[in-house]
């Protein structure tokens, strides 16, 4: 069945990579140009300038030809030294991966355990930093939107907690699945390195990683001793000044990024965030009407990017996802590591509208029935009511 032609669009409702809009696909389908020529310089100067608006910063943002994982490594290797301590929070699968990466670089991670249903706790940040009189902790690292659980950590409150503790640690935030979807403010929250990438809220294919860099992080990079070469900010920032890169950039992805920035700035970032909030709320209304449970426990931490839904004990979320793929040509996110088989994730981020969400939830509701997952009907209707009410 999967090999046969399936009419209509594939519904790519995983929380990244997300649906790439036609306008971006068309922008990328242009000949690759000389990356040392004047036309390229003009393109990249514009992109580097406008990208700052997405991070809400007036500081530089660097662009790597990389996945998000590369941008994680860049944040740590530019600012830290072997044996430095960092404070991290076990919010879910992605926080656990970042921790493992830090460990492999020779960084000592103080990992605060979590139940994968809540964000990083600002009170724990304050306590841990207040106790650290010797200022052994060099950075606090938080995943803003934990993509494995659909839980958003409250970065503004974490910044306040760090200020109350009066501790000099740097603040690093992974915004890979929140950038251009959920309110984030690099400057206002005095984040030191914001990590992002292309294939989630920015609506692009995979292949670009980002670091937004504060002055304090730049200063830390002068004395940081971890080895780095490809990720080194210095050459990147130096060549970026004239619109160039120290090595071959992902030219066609930059064409796509130009289009993505135009689309986001035309819609307006606040409208983008409101749209994602509306879709998150409507999805949760559907889940509740089905009688199922949302993975996120704290309403202050609900995600506008995705919703992780728990399936009742004795039922397999992956068997359900297989039914949805085969019958409706729709991909839903799987449960990662310890949530495997226990949750499915509905991605509602990026290039997404109310009717697309209604279609997605209809596919889920029909799939629940076909896969024999116990539920009540009426989830789609509850979502439609919520969407109507929001307009």
Q: Quick check: 137 and 167 in contact, CB under 8 A?
A: yes
* 3-class secondary-structure state, position 110: strand
Edge to edge, the sheet with strand 137-143 lists 61-65, 208-213, 193-197, 170-174, 137-143, 85-89, 108-112
> How does strand 145-146 pair with strand 151-152?
antiparallel
Q: Which of residues 227-256 bind ligand PLP (CB under 6 A)?
A: none
d(CA 269, CA 261): 10
CA 284 and chain centroid, separation: 19
Residue number, 126 or 146, with CB nearest to ligand PLP: 146
Q: Provide the 8-state DSSP code for 119.
A: -
d(CA 155, CA 171): 9
Decide: is 176 part of the binding site for ligand PLP (CB under 6 A): yes
Q: Quick check: 274 and 374 in contact, CB under 8 A?
A: no
Decide: is 79 part of the binding site for ligand PLP (CB under 6 A): no
Q: Which residues contact 184 (CB under 8 A, 6 or more apart)?
A: 55, 56, 144, 155, 173, 175, 178, 194
Residue pointed to by tokens 């656990």: 96
The 268-307 site mask, x for binding ligand PLP (CB under 6 A), equals ----------------------------------------
The two most distant CA atoms of the chain are separated, in Å, by 64
Q: Which of residues 1-60 bind ligand PLP (CB under 6 A)?
A: 16
Decide: is 119 part of the binding site for ligand PLP (CB under 6 A): no
Tell me how far, at minimum, the Cβ of 172 lies from ligand PLP, in Å: 12
**C-alpha separations of 276 from 97, 166, 305, 361 in Å:** 26, 34, 6, 15
Tell me how far, at minimum, the Cβ of 202 lies from ligand PLP, in Å: 12
Tell me how far, at minimum, the Cβ of 177 lies from ligand PLP, in Å: 4
Q: Please give the structure tokens belonging to residue 232.
A: 């080194």
Q: How many residues bind ligand PLP (CB under 6 A)?
A: 12
One residue of 59, 69, 252, 329 binding ligand PLP per CB under 6 A: 69
Tell me how far, at minimum, the Cβ of 179 lies from ligand PLP, in Å: 10
One residue of 18, 44, 63, 68 binding ligand PLP per CB under 6 A: 68
From the list 1-9, 56-64, 66-74, 338-346, the region that binds ligand PLP by CB under 6 A is 66-74
One residue of 149, 177, 307, 360 binding ligand PLP per CB under 6 A: 177
One residue of 91, 147, 295, 307 binding ligand PLP per CB under 6 A: 147
Decide: is 197 part of the binding site for ligand PLP (CB under 6 A): yes
- Residues near ligand PLP (CB under 6 A) are 16, 67-69, 94, 143, 147, 174, 176-177, 197, 206
């Amino acid at each position: 069945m999967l090999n046969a032609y399936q009419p209509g669009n594939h519904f790519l409702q995983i929380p990244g990579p997300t649906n790439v809009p036609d306008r971006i696909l068309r922008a990328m389908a242009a000949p690759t140009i000389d990356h040392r020529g004047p036309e390229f310089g003009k393109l990249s100067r514009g992109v580097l300038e406008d990208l700052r608006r997405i991070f809400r910063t007036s500081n530089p943002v660097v662009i790597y030809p990389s996945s998000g994982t590369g941008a994680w490594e860049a944040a740590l290797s530019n600012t830290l030294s072997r044996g430095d301590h960092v404070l991290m929070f076990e919010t879910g699968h992605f926080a656990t991966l970042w921790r493992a990466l830090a460990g492999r670089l020779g960084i000592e991670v103080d990992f605060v355990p979590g139940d994968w249903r809540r964000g990083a706790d600002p009170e724990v940040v304050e306590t841990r930093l207040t106790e650290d009189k010797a200022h052994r902790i060099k950075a606090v690292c938080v995943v803003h939107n934990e993509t494995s659980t659909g839980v958003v950590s409250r970065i503004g409150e974490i910044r306040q907690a760090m200020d109350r503790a009066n501790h000099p640690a740097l603040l690093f935030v992974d915004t890979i699945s929140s950038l251009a979807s959920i309110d984030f403010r690099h400057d206002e929250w005095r984040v030191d390195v914001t990590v992002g990438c292309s294939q989630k809220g920015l609506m692009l294919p995979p292949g670009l990683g980002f670091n937004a860099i504060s002055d304090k992080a730049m200063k830390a990079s002068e004395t940081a001793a971890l080895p780095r070469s490809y990720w080194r900010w210095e050459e990147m920032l130096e060549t970026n000044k004239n619109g160039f890169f120290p090595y071959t950039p992902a030219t066609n992805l930059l064409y796509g990024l130009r289009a993505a920035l135009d689309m986001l700035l035309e819609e307006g970032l606040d409208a983008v965030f409101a749209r994602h909030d509306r879709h998150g709320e409507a999805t949760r209304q559907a889940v509740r009407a089905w009688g199922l449970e949302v993975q996120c426990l704290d309403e202050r931490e609900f995600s506008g990017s995705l919703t992780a839904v728990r399936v009742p004990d004795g039922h397999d979320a992956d068997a359900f996802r297989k039914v949805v793929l085969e019958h409706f040509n729709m991909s839903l996110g799987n449960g990662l590591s310890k949530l495997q088989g226990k949750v499915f994730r509905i991605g509602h981020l990026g290039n997404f509208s109310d009717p697309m969400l209604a279609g997605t939830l209809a596919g889920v509701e029909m799939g629940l029935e076909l896969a024999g997952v116990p539920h009540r009907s009426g989830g789609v209707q509850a979502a439609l009511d919520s969407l109507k009410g929001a307009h």
